[in-house]
Each structure stands twice: as structure tokens, then as C-alpha cells.
Structure 1
Amino acid sequence: MPKNYSCLPSALLLLGLTVGAAQAQTISRTAATAIVNENAGSVSLSFSIQNPGATASTVEAVVQGISTAVAGQDFTFTSAQTITFPAGSTAAQTLTIPVLDDATVEETEYFTVRLQNPTNATLASGAAEMLVYIKDNDTSAPVPARNLTLSLLQSYQTATPFSGSTQINSAEIVAYDPSTKRLYVANSVGGKLDILNFTNPAAITAVASIDIKPYGGINSVAVRNGIVACALENTNPQANGSVVFFDQNGTFLKQVTVGAMPDMITFSPNGNYVLTANEGEPKADYTVDPEGSVSVVDVTGGVASLTQANVTTATFTSYNNQAVQLRAQGIRIYGGLASAPATVAQDLEPEYVAVSPDSRTAYITLQENNAIAVLDLATKQITAIRPVGYSDLRQPGRGIDASDQSGDVLIANWPIKGMRQPDAIAAFEVSGTPYLLTANEGDARDYSAFSEQVRLSGNSYVLDPTLFPNAALLKNNSVLGRLNVTNKTGDTDGDGDFDEIYAYGGRSFSIYNAASGAETYDSGNLLERITSTDATYGSVFNASNSFGEVPTRKNRSDDKGPEPEGVTTGQIGNNLYAFVSLERIGGVMVFNINNPASPVLESYVNNRSLTAGTGDLGPEGIVFVAAANSPTGQPLLILANEVSSTVAVYAIQSPVLATTSARTAAPLALYPNPAQGTTVHLSRPVSGTLTDLLGRPVRQLLAADHFETTGLGAGVYMLRATDGATSKLIVR
């Protein structure tokens, strides 16, 4: 019923109107952040007042709260300063703070200015703090050594990727067979195995496109000596998947059952085993949650005689009673519903497999769990689950660009832990020491019945007020508010708010000692520094890889940044290199890893449009081709680009020094050659690396005049001495 005020006395009505018109004076900052260059001399901060009164209003400004900049070193602010708003004036008032130009190489720093003790006014709720970023002017852009260069030979379109806004084809994983000079591409979206003629890498042609859907959904492909192995998930993804073997032309040979949702497949270096990482993701409503596992298919007897008896699936059930201990080590066990938590075996989700050069051990990334599992190939048993650790973003060299709305690239340190959550992994050796290389992409569980991903600014994500007194400022979208974080890790005292902030992905690559699991190296913010300062691709820094859309700079800064996705290694001359692909901004980075504790940037190449969503988008699969196995006689790098459904081929120009050394090196002979389960002798002692046809190290020699071939599968190998000499070995 409408209210009727006609009966109220006129004096009372007048009083009500007067009271309603008298509004309180409110002081606030005009913006949540300010950005200043270190050599600017000073920064001016603006503050405003609403509804100024007949009497002047004042407020104190102090430096208080989160800060990485230091008063007296980075800026001058010795005591509280009073800001005065004249009576009746709505003009903004300015506070000028001197900024000091030091000579220290550092990340973007910041300090907080807080308003307090207002007179004749109140402070606007949530608008009493301001963050001031100071951009360093002493940090130079990373300079590639350029001892080798990558030149694009071709970007081959395997199929039309999109129909309107719907993706209909992809090129997710690529495998190369030197014996047939063919590429095999897993087209997971189109449900096909695409076979390409790679005789001329600059002019790839199609051979066939095999419909895989009758067998299941293709996730990955591997090939060796004309045998193609595909990892296929079941039409019911939570049921057991399979490995399907084809010949070089795509003719069906065999099919065996493996664990649920095989996501990646590989041959062991000796060719004796085919391994799959069975991710075992739950159904979206969590009514079904299969166990993660790793399947080992013994193919020593040949594919023709293969049966299900040749398949061993290693599970994690023996760890089901160790959830508490695993969490204490930093391994994330957190899935399932509140009424039915996942067991450890259900929670662990194998993502990717790498096999040691001696084919004795497999290493499996457990991406969502932030861990690596170790599998003994002799016993087919999981022997360890190791945490990969978190990147402490408070530490120098570990900062990130955390907001898609900050307007500028601001790689800064924050009270955050980056969950590395590696995707791809590679195994290699240097001087007899085994190492692992990981691409720390990051990933979240996001299902209809269970989702851990939230924005830091979300109302449900409450920061502990004691540990984060500046929570309102941190939650601003120009600071950390847009950052995606997990709501399943960080409440250390169980009181419902978050005492630690955990974000997805390390935005880095890491190197670990394979024997102990100890961290040898982490690239920290190097990948973001390289891409943000790149003369060409800095303009699309942290841009997404959407097909057909103009790239938007920094629109992935609030997610996982460049998202390192794929890794591999390759020996060229005397040098060992790591190749790291970046899913979002695209392209690949190359690092010399002769010293695994101190990689050296060699090159960054990319092939995407700066103004349209074209070119190579979403690199995932990555393959190094050694010169001995290359159709061109020079090393190649192949990238499968999932979004654009393209295969990019780069020619690698070897260092001049290696070429010169090879010309002057003394001849090197191996005997007996061919060899069969015996000792191989060298015509002179050398140090060097014996690699398989894919360029993967299988033996490391140090001033050796002989080595054992035990454990090496039949095939062709190449010994590359550090003095440049090479010699081919045939093992029967």
C-alpha cells in the first residue's frame, strides 16, 4: 500500500528534507594504485573529498602496510603528513612523495600509503589505502647468447581448426619417426590420427588421416621404427582406456587396455616399453572418480604377439593410508566431495611421463597434486612420490605480473606461493648425473560438483585479518584481486580464512636431481621478463591464444601468465639444450643446460600474429630431431600447436665452434659394430654422449675407451664426442 505523508505537519516535513540534504564529508583516494618510474624524482598521489563542509577537513597520510620498497632507500617519507581540504572546496588534494633512484637491479617495488585520523570528515569504506608501484630502471632485458638460431621452415596446417567459434580440429601432440620420415599428429578435437610426409620439412604433405573415434578419444601419440602407439580414452572417460598400435600407414595392429583416461604415451629409450600416464579424472558431478595410474606395455616380443598379459598397470593404492604424511610434504591431496573425500589413489592424476636414458626408471608428473612419482621399470612399482615445491613469490627473482588490469607490466614480489604443478617433463644426464626438466604450467580442478578456483577478490575468499591487514587493497583488481587462486590450500589453522595465498603455476621451468628429487634450478620470473621485453612479442605479453581474435596484452596475467607447457632436450655438438614451449603467448625458448644449475638463454622464437588470432597458437607437443636423424642433415625442432592446428618446423643452426671442432677432431671408431649385448670399444678415449634416433641421451662417457650396451634396444645410435667427432653405432 502506498505511503501517505499528507497528514504530517509541514514543519516536520521541512526538518526531514533538511536532514536528508546534510551528507557527511567523505575522504578517499582517487585511484587504488599509482605507477612511477624509479628515476622520475617524485610521485604525486591524488585524494578527494565528497560533500565538503563549511569547515576545512584534514586527514593524515602514513606509509603503512604491505611493502617491498624501503623508506630512505627507494622513497622519502619520514613521518605522517597532513592533507587539508579547504572549506567548501571539492578540489582534489595532492601528496607528493620523493622517489629515490638507486643503482640496484630489482623487480618492481611498491609501498602502501594509508589515510588515518580524519577531522571534520570520515574515510570512505575500502578506499583509505593506495599502492604505489616503483618501476626499476636498472634491470636490463635478458640478452640471448645466440650461439644457435632457430629459423622457421614451415607452419603446416593439418586441418581447419574452427567452424565459427567451435573448434573442430587440433594438433596437440606430434611424434617423428626417422625410419619412415613421417610425422604423426594427435588430433584430439577431430578424433583423428594425422599422418604427414616429412621428407622435406619445408614442404610437408598429408599422407592420411585416420578416424580414431571407433577406438576411443585420442590424447597422445608416440612412434618408433614404424610402430605407432596411440593413447585413447574410453567413450566413457572414467572407464579404462587403451593403447592402439598402428603400422606406419595407419593400419590397425593391436589394442590393449590400460588405466582410465591415458593422457600421454611414450616409448622407453631402449624401445622395450610403451608407457601411459593415466590421469583418471573424475566425472564432473564426482559420482565416479577412477584411480590415477601408469601402465607399462612390454613390447619386447613385438606388437604382433602382444596380449593383455603384456600390460602392467601400476597404481597408487599402497599410499591410501598416507594422505596426512603426503600433505605434510607439500603434496596436494584434496579432491572429492565433503561427504566422500577422494582416496590418495583417486586424487593423484598422472599427467606426463619421462623415462631415464638407461630405461630403468620412469618419472611421472602429478600436475594437480604438485608432485612427481617415480616408477621402477624392473618391478613395475611406484617407489616414491615427491613434492616439487612451491615458488615463493616474495623472493628476489620470483615475482610475477599478477593483474590483467594494472595497465603496465609490473613484475613484483607478493606474499603468494606459486604452485608449480608441472605438465611436461624430460629426463637427461650431465656428466653421469641424472636430471629432470619440468614445465611448470599449473592447473585447477574445476567441475560442476567441485571447483577450487576463485578470484582473490571473491567474497568467499577471506584473508586472515591479522596476517593480511591490507586485505581490501590486495583484493583490488589493479593489485591482486583478479588473480586466480585455490580455495583448497592455505587455511593453515582451519578457522575458515586463508593464512597463505596459493596461485596456479610456477610460470617457470625447473630442473631437479632425478636421484634425490632436490631442486637444482628454477627459472623464476625469467620467462615473463623475456617475453615482456621482447622487441617483437612484448606487445602481446601474457596474451591468450584465442583463434581469430586480436591478442590482448596481459589478459592472462591474472591466470598463469605464459603457461610453460612442453619441454624437451637435445644434444647439438658439444652442447645440451633445453627447449621450453609457452602455451599462451606462444613460441619456444632455448637454454643451454651444460650446467643444469645455471642455464643460459640462447633464443626465443615465435610465429603468431600481433594483430589477429592467426599463426601458430597454443604450442603443446614438442620434438627435437638430431642432425643424424633429420631429413635435412641439420637439427630440427617441431612444435604441435593445439589451437591453430598447425605443425611448426624450425631449423636449428649449430654453433660454429662445434663445426670447426668436428673438422679438426681425430677420427673415432667403435667396435664391434654392429654390437649385440656386449662391450663396445672406442678407437681412442673420449668424453661425450651416446644418443638414440630422437637425440635423447642414453649413455654419458667421461674419458672412456669403452661402454656397455646392456639395456639398449635394437636400433641406430650416435656417439658425439665433446671434441666434435661423431660415430654411428648399430645395436642388434
Structure 2
Amino acid sequence: MQRAIASGVLIAGLTGFTALAPAAAAPVPGAVEHSAPGADLSLDPVGSHRTDIFDEGAAEIVVHYSARQQTLVVNAAAGTIRVLDSSDPAEPSELFELATGGIPSADGSTVPAGGTANSVDVREDGLAAVAVENPNKTDDGWVAFFDLSEDEPTALGAVRTGALPDSVVFSPDGAYAVVANEGEPAEDYSVDPEGTVGVIALPSTVEAPQQNAVRLAGFHAFEDDNLPEGVRVYGGREDAGTGDPEFPVSENLEPEYSAVIGSKAYVTLQEANAIAVVDLASAAVESLLPLGTQDLMNVPADVSNEDGSVNIANWPVETFFQPDTIKAVEIGGTEYLLTANEGDSRDWDAYSEELRVKDFGQDGVAPLCESVAEDFGMSVEELQADENLGRLTVTSAQGLAADGSCYEQIYGFGGRSFSILDTSGELVFNSEDEFEQITAEAAPEFFNSTNDESNFDNRSDDKGPEPEAVEVGRIGDRTFAFVGFERIGGIAVYDITRPAESEFVTYFNNRNFAVEDLSAGVADAGDSGPESVVFVPASELNTPAEGVAGMLIVGNEVTGSTTFYDVHSDLLAAEPSEPATPSEPADGSEGAPAEDDGEDAGAAPVPDDEAPSTVPGEKADSGSSDGADAAGDRPGALPRTGTDVGVIAGVGAVLAMIGAAAIWLARRSRG
């Protein structure tokens, strides 16, 4: 498998990292572009609608209504949906807002003015659905419906759904709306509503459904001993000391985001590190798919914000994938799921699982087992130092030895990656450490920056770049994934036409890192905190320019901006590529592997008794059959571990660019 991540340049520069020239709308000064050699696709920001509202969710979920060339944007700050005229993406303009307050619901209630709009989707005929959270989030919410097919929008009514409806998506045929009712607890755990998945049968005409069209798929079937091993259930009211629930699993599972393909909905249960499979016809949860962990002894990461460098290294930690957004796609006759592995924890007033590695052994928390450090070649004291693992945020809910004496395994949050799964939950591809490698090359001075300040290494001790959003788009006979990073920002594009051999193509970050404090300079900051991404094919645009294969729309919650990109490519006129075939699962995960035919199987996990002892800055051999995954020698890997920031920003950037390109060419020549 070849995964090239060679160096690119900022747009105005021929070599090195030169800032972009200022532009009236987009891109912003300092925007970053970084591509693999020979990349045949690029992103060009052409326009942006800005609210200049900082970090209040003024631009979150976005969807596109092609029939009227409108873009719908969730404005959580106002609890409304902003509708933009995006017929000319270089000059998007606001048309109107959809307010849900006062809309009568089919159950006899009324959507209150204080409800929060969390999500939106629109059908081809103009039927729009808005997920509305109750002002008291633990009470049932609503889905409100609008008719956008005419010049003036019309509120059609609403239906009641479960607690905290966090996302709503239409099935591709428009027959159903699927609502992920997250059911988060109250801060004091006085109430913890059950999570459910709402399946709403929709009229074929543009009108609101009746209340009897709403069915809630719950998790009662997985109580007691029926929960699959690997699904995290923890930290409910019993752990918080506020009650003994009759249905602890159902209260614990919190649906986050849905994707629909065929007759099924696939719903992420982020904190539980699993996916629920829902049959739409019966509105029942058929199965739960545990996602396993990513072993940082095989897949390196930068785990400290106090090590003074980019230090993407191996550590004795396993991290839960915990995806947020999920999308579904069919490639070569096989259905796949794409997940953005952001990571999340339970951190409430009455119960929190979060602690740092240095907190083990402190304030009543059991210590680390000596074997964890010894097997790694360190003492516990060394391992818990801030420049090593001490700062990493991990969980206290898993890893404790059976006798409660010490933690025998460290578990962290988030894969810092995106994954491709088959519909049985088997891992086909995982981007592993590539996002940190890419951003270390593209913006070395702002590696793992947070999204409200421009800084260096701030998020390494948490979840790194935090992949939040994922989208799928087809261009010609090729299929691409677009992944948005919540913290450092930007969109990474991968060619996933052959899913098991998915390859990085390009990365674009329309952020002005010269703005240090985004709260004070949001108008000049560009884009930060991408929450959602939408691809619109050229066939659905008014008059795309030559070479424009589609439009990408990104909603940025921190900067309150909605930015429109031309997707440039000559692939529409290119020769057809080799057809995709069903792909093998990837390795390096604790999830159960699918059947292996022995061809191009990739790297196998290292058995526990053969795990290498690795020191910070080294990259472990992950067991590749040809040795290509050894330190600095994995296809596409960048030689960027333990490098001082000053060197990275100067001559080292140019040398790394040349070296990475040479590595890529050498790997290509080997086939």
C-alpha cells in the first residue's frame, strides 16, 4: 500500500512556506496548501459568508439545496437556520432565517422560542427538517419541517422526538428522516434520559409528517448480558451515585450522528466507541458494532504539549476511535462507512472519567502498574513526566486490574484519524498518524494548535487535530473523502477509490495564523473549527468554471463562517482508472479482522509478548511484511519526530520537503 504524504507549499511560494497574498474574500492571508506529489485535485476557497460571531456555533451544520442554489447553515447562536443564496459562491448572501419557535407540533405541544437548532437536512423537493433541542436538554425535543420550494419559506409543523436530537439526516430516497437523540445527562446526573434513534416516515409530498410517523429505536434489547464485548458502558447514574436505573445500557448509549445506505441507518455512539445498526422498516436496533482501539505502540502520536517539539512517537497507550461524523458510500458494488475519529469523554459535574497520566496514584486514584512502564523501558516516574506521557488526557473508567490495585493499561480518547469500515464494522482502512504528519509538514509552527488561539503543540496532550467532519464526493470514476480538523483546522482530501489503499491528495487550511487570539480578531482570522463539510458535484451547480469538478462547503463553528471552495480537477476528462474491488480490512487496530486472502495484507499487529520497547522519538516496527513500517521508512511517513520548532520553520522545512518526496518516489518504484 502506498500512502504518499510529501511536502507541499503555501500557495504563493515556489519553495518553503510563503504566505498567501491578501484577497478580498478568500483565501485569507497565510492560508496553507499542502499536497502529495502529482495531486490531481485542489481546493480553492472562492467566497465566505461571515458572521464574525466567535465560538458560539454561528455556522455549524451545512447542507445544500441544489434546486434553488441555497445553502442552509445551523446558527446555534440564534437557534435558527440561516439560508444563503450560494448561486454565486464567490458572493454568498443571506436570504432569510428559519425560526422554529412557535411552530405547533403534531403531539399537541409547541416548539418553544428557546429551543436550540442542532442540525438540518433538505430533500430534493425542498422539504427541510430541523432538529430542535428542548431548552431543558433532558426533555424530549422536536423535528420541525419547512417548505423551501417557493420564494417564501413556509413552516409546515413539527413532531416530537427523543431527548437532545443532535443530528437529522434524510435517507437517500427521501422516505425517512433519521434522528440521533443523544440523551445526555444533566450536569448533576439527576436525570439521564435514554438515547434513541428516531425513524420518521416522510410523506412523498412537501408536508410535515404526523406524530404516528415517528418511531423511536431504543437499546433495551442490549441490557443485562446482551451487550457486545467492547461497547463502553460506564459513568451512568449508578457511578455518579444519583440512582439505580432500570435500563442502565439504554441511558448510557448516546447516539451522535447517522448515515443511511440501503435499508439501514448506521449511528455513531461516540462515548461508547461503537456504531448502532438500525433497520429502517422495523425501526429497531439490529446490532451494535464495537470499534476497538488504536495501539500507539504501532501507530505513533504526539502526546505532550510540554515537550517543546513535534514528537510523533510510540507510547504504551491504546486510544478509542470514538467517531463523531459518519458517512456511507458504495464503491465497486460494496457498501462502506467513513468515520471521523474525533474522540470524546464523559466529563460532567457529578461524574468525570477524565484525568491525566500523571494523576494515576494521586488523590485516591490507583497507580499505574509497574509493568506498564517497565515493558516500555522507563520507570513509572519517567513515564508520568510532563514531557513524556504525564500530560495526556486519558480515562479512569477502563484499564484497572481485576484486583483494583493498579492500572495495567492506559486508554486515551480519539483515533486522530479517519477510518473506512465495511458494514459489519470491520476496519478496511485507517489513516493512522497521517493527519499529525501532514499538519506537522504543512504548518510546523502551529502543529496541533487549538482553534481559539494560534499556538504550537497546544492540543497534543488531548486529541491532536481532532477529525470532526467527513464527507464523500465522486469526481468522474474516482471517489474522495474530505475530512475537517476541529482544532488546527483545514480540510484533508483522500482518494478512496480503492478503499484499502486510500491515499492522501491535498490539505487546505483557510486560517490566518497571524491572528493570535481569535476572540479579539475573528474578522481577520479566516476559518477555524470546521464542524461540517458538504460536497456538491458540478452537475448540481449553476455554471461551474472549466476544470471545476464540484463545490465544497464548510461550516466553521469557532469563526462563525461558511466558506465555499471550488474543487479543481481534470479527472472528468481523464482515462478511467482500474475499477475498485472489495477491499481487505486494515491492521493496527484491536477490532476483529475480516478474512485475509494473503495479498497486500498490510501491517499486522505486534503480539503483546513481542511489542517493541520504544523510546520517545522512535517509531516502532508495526510488523509490515516488507519492513516498510519501520521508523521513518513506512510509505508516506515523514521524518518528523523530536524536531525543534525553529529548525522546522526554516531550512528544515525545505529539506523535509525534498526528503519526503524522495521517500515517496522510492516507494513508488518498488510498487
**TM-score by structure 2 length?**
0.73
**1:196 paired residue number:** 84
State yes or no: 1:218 paired with 2:120: no
CA 1:206–1:595 in 2, change beyond 3 Å: closer, same or farther?
same
2:311 counterpart (377, 392, 410): 410
Q: Residue 52 of structure 2 aligns with which residue? A: 160
In structure 2, the residue corresponding to 1:439 is in which secondary structure? strand
Corresponding residue for 1:624? 535
Alignment of 1:265-414 (within 5 A): 265-304=168-207, 306-322=209-225, 325-326=227-228, 328-338=229-239, 339=241, 340=243, 343-356=248-261, 358=262, 360-395=263-298, 398-414=299-315
Q: Give the 3 Å change call, closer, same or farther, for CA 414–180 of structure 1 in structure 2.
A: same
Deviation at 1:155, TM superposition (A): 2.1
In 2, Cα distance between equivalents of 1:305 and 1:438? 31
What SS does the corresponding residue of 1:652 show, helix, strand or coil? strand
Counterpart of 2:77, as a letter, is: V
Indicate the SS of the match to 1:155: strand
Counterpart-to-counterpart distance in 2, 1:616 and 1:382: 38
Distance in 1 (CA, whole Å) between partners of 2:410 and 2:136 is 36
What's the CA shift for 1:213? 4.8
Aligned equivalents of 2:211, 2:37: Cα separation in 1: 50
Which residue of structure 2 lines up, in the alignment, with residue 467 of structure 1? 372
Give the aligned partner of residue 585 of structure 1. 488
Q: Which residue of 1 aligns with 2:604?
A: none
Deviation of 1:335 (Å): 2.7
- The offset of 1:468, in angstroms, is 3.0
Q: Which amino acid aligns with 2:126?
A: G
Within the candidate set 573, 580, 589, 1:659 is matched to 573
Determine the C-alpha separation between the residues in 1 that align with 2:196 and 2:117: 18
Match of 2:432 in 1: 524
Pair 1:480 & 2:382 matched: no
User: Match of 2:439, SS?
Assistant: helix
Contact 1:620 1:640 in 2 (8 A): yes
What stretches of structure 2 of length at least 5 have no aligned partner? 5-33, 103-110, 519-524, 582-671
- When residues 427 and 494 of structure 1 are mapped into structure 2, their CA distance, relative to the original with a 3 A threshold, is farther
- 1:303 Cα deviation after fit: 4.6
SS in 1 for 2:445: helix
Equivalence for 2:24 = none
Cα displacement (A) at 1:341: 5.5
Aligned match of 1:209: 97
2:237 partner letter: G
Once the two structures are superposed, what CA deviation does each residue of 1:19-53 show, in whole Å capped at 9, x if it has no partner?
xxxxxxxxxxxxxxxxxxxxxxxxxxxxxxxxxxx
Q: Alpha-carbon deviation of 1:190?
A: 2.2
CA distance in structure 2 between the partners assigned to 1:169 and 1:250 by the alignment: 23
- Confirm or deny: 8 A CA contact 2:188 2:349 kept in the other structure: yes
CA, structure 1 residues 442+189, in 2 after alignment: closer, same or farther (shift >3 Å)? Answer: same
Deviates more, 1:436-445 or 1:340-349: 340-349
Encode CA deviations 1:358-417: one digit per residue, 9 max, x unaligned: 3x111000000000010111211100001111001101xx11000001000010111000
Distance in 2 separating the partners of 1:564 and 1:410: 19
Q: Does 1:559 align with 2:470?
A: no
CA 1:500–1:632 in structure 2 vs 1: closer, same or farther (change >3 Å)?
farther
Residue 420 of structure 2: which of 498, 502, 511 is its match? 511
What SS does the aligned partner of 1:318 have? helix
Given that 1:171 and 1:645 are in contact with CA atoms closer than 8 Å, whether structure 2 keeps it comes out as yes
Preserved contact between residue 608 and residue 615 of structure 1 (Cα < 8 Å): yes
**What is the distance in 1 between the residues matched to 2:57 and 2:41?**
33
Aligned with residue 173 of structure 1, among 43, 57, 61: 61
Shift of 1:210: 3.3
Structure 2: distance between partners of 1:426 and 1:305 = 26
1: CA distance between counterparts of 2:146 and 2:481? 31
Looking at secondary structure, tell me which structure has more strand per residue.
Answer: 1
What CA distance in whole angstroms lies between the structure 1 residues aligned with 2:475 and 2:449?
32
1:629-668 Cα offsets, whole Å, 9 max, x none, are 1233340111000010101111011235x31559xx9xxx
- Flag the 1:189–1:284 CA change in 2: closer, same or farther, 3 A: same
| Aligned equivalents of 1:170, 1:496: Cα separation in 2 | 47
Cα deviations by residue, 1:141-198 (Å, 9 ceiling, x for unpaired) = 98354111111111220x2314xxxx55510101100011101111112212111001
Q: Does 1:232 align with 2:132?
A: yes
Any conservation in 1 of the 2:316–2:372 contact (CA below 8 Å)? no
Structure ID, larger Rg: 1
Structure 1 residues 415 and 341: alpha-carbon distance in aligned structure 2, compared to 1, 3 A threshold: farther
Aligned CA distance change for structure 1 residues 429 and 168 (closer, same or farther; 3 Å): closer
> Cα deviations across residues 117-147 of structure 1 (Å, max 9, x unaligned)?
xxxxxxxxxxxxxxxxxxxxxxxx9835411
Find the residue that maps to 1:235 and give its secondary structure: coil
Report the secondary structure of 1:154's partner residue: strand
Q: Are residue 244 (structure 1) and residue 144 (structure 2) matched? A: yes
1:409 aligned counterpart, secondary structure? strand
Partners of 1:494 and 1:638 in 2: how far apart? 52
Alpha-carbon distance between aligned partners in 2 of 1:144 and 1:295, rounded to the nearest angstrom = 45
Residue 452 of structure 1, aligned match among 330, 342, 353: 353
> Deviation of residue 553 (structure 1)?
0.8
More RCO (CA 8 Å, sep 6+): 2
Instruction: For 2:235 and 2:314, locate their aligned partners in 1 and report how far apart those are by CA, in whole Å.
Output: 27
Amino acid at match of 1:498: Y
The letter of the residue matching 1:211 is A
Give the whole-Å Cα distance in 2 for the aligned partners of 1:492 and 1:438.
31
Report matched runs for 1:591-610 at 5 Å.
591-610=494-513
Q: Percent identity?
A: 39
Asked whether the equivalents of residues 497 and 580 of structure 2 are also in contact (C-alpha less than 8 Å), the reply is no
> In the alignment, residue 329 of structure 2 is paired with which amino acid?
F
Tell me the CA shift for residue 301 of structure 1. Answer: 4.1
Q: Note if 1:434 corresponds to 2:339.
A: no
Shift of 1:347: 0.5
Q: 1:148 to 1:431 in 2, by over 3 A?
A: same
Tell me how far 1:250 sits from its aligned partner. 4.1
The Cα shift of 1:317 comes to 1.1
- Structure with bigger helix share is 2
**Cα distance, 1:300 vs. partner?**
3.2
What do the CA deviations read for 1:484-516 (whole angstroms, capped 9, x no partner)? 0011111142414211101110001111111x2
Between the two proteins, the alignment pairs up a number of residues equal to: 510
